[in-house]
Amino acid sequence: MKNYTPPVKSSWKGRDSDRVLYLHEKVDCQIITHLPKHTTGFALLGYACDIGVKRNQGRIGAKNGSAEIRKALGKMPNHLEAHQKITDVGDIHCQSQDLEETQKALSDAVTTLLDKNLFPLLMGGGHDMAYAHYNGIKNHLLSKGKRPSIGIINFDAHFDLREDTQGANSGTPFYQISNENEPFHYLCLGIRKDANDRKLFETAHELDVTYVERNTFRIQFAKEINTWIRAFMDKVDHIYVSVDLDGFSSAYAPGVSAPSPMGFSPDIVSQSLDTIIASGKLISMDIAEMNPVYDVDGQTAKLAASLMHQIVHSEFS
């Protein structure tokens, strides 16, 4: 399989127990092409690529993000039942700086995981992964004879609606999706005016994007935000969630490609995820822009791992 690195069990380390008390003891490692025909649970897939970040003039280093998230997640406690599965299926990596080929490989991998009845949890890596991730979900649904009705919920400071006339990058994924899908269902939570130029706001309005600005995306407005999220989800059959770690304040996530102290806090994201999970429509999720080069005491990796811990221990696990 092109652009693919199999998982390595030694990547999963932590405190040892004789009762599988920690996730590193729980995680199974499987080559993606060797997965059983009938399986269930969560599949962890890394996106070891930051070429899109480089093209978008961001700080490179996110290609190693998935490795650091694994380290943080493996040390966390395991509260799952014995029959609940978590499988590490390895990484999609970039060869010869060919972003488009890497995105195609990621899209195919996501489709494979969904076809196997697994829930993909992607770790990255540049946010250009979102374009590939969406296409992987779409192709899975089309293969089932279903007309895709996919709503995107993106936790992010940025719209990522830049035009791709000069090629794809980490700022173009949702613009690319909008060009290829009608209708285009996109909710962005945490948008900042100091992180998006006027043209991006104009594009968002032209595409009928629903968004909540950072000043409103706060825990004290959780009731209103949950109402907006539910109203958005009512319009679609499936929800794909993307979490861009650079949307968080750098007080919580210093290790990202585009940091800012003005971002949102983890509490409102966690609250929103609970609402999304309760809908029963969540089909896949990714966490993007983890950049270990600039992390402090593994803080950003721990934040990403905690969000994943919440998902795998949620009611639909």
Residues with Cβ within 8 Å of 3's Cβ and at least 6 positions away in sequence, in order, are 92, 93, 94, 95, 101, 102, 105, 106
> CA nearest 42: which of 104, 119, 107?
119
Distance CA 231, CA 211 (A): 13
Distances (CA, A) of 177 to 11, 135, 173, 207: 33, 8, 6, 11
Distances (CA, A) of 24 to 13, 35, 309: 6, 19, 12
**160 annotated binding-site participant:** yes
DSSP character for 37? Answer: S
**Both tokens assigned to 171:** 């700022």
Point out which residues pair with 282 in neighbouring strands: 239
**127 annotated binding-site participant:** yes
Phi, psi of 87 (to 5 degrees): -125, 125
Distances (CA, A) of 261 to 58, 126, 167, 217, 257: 16, 20, 30, 15, 13
**34 annotated binding-site participant:** no
Grouping H, G, I as helix, E, B as strand and the rest as coil, residue 28 is strand
> CA nearest 42: which of 317, 278, 277, 240?
317
**Crossing angle for the helix pair 299-312 and 65-74, to the nearest 10 degrees:** 60
**158 annotated binding-site participant:** yes
Give binding residues for Mn(2+) as ranges. Answer: 127, 156, 158, 160, 244, 246
Give binding residues as ranges. Answer: 127, 156, 158, 160, 244, 246
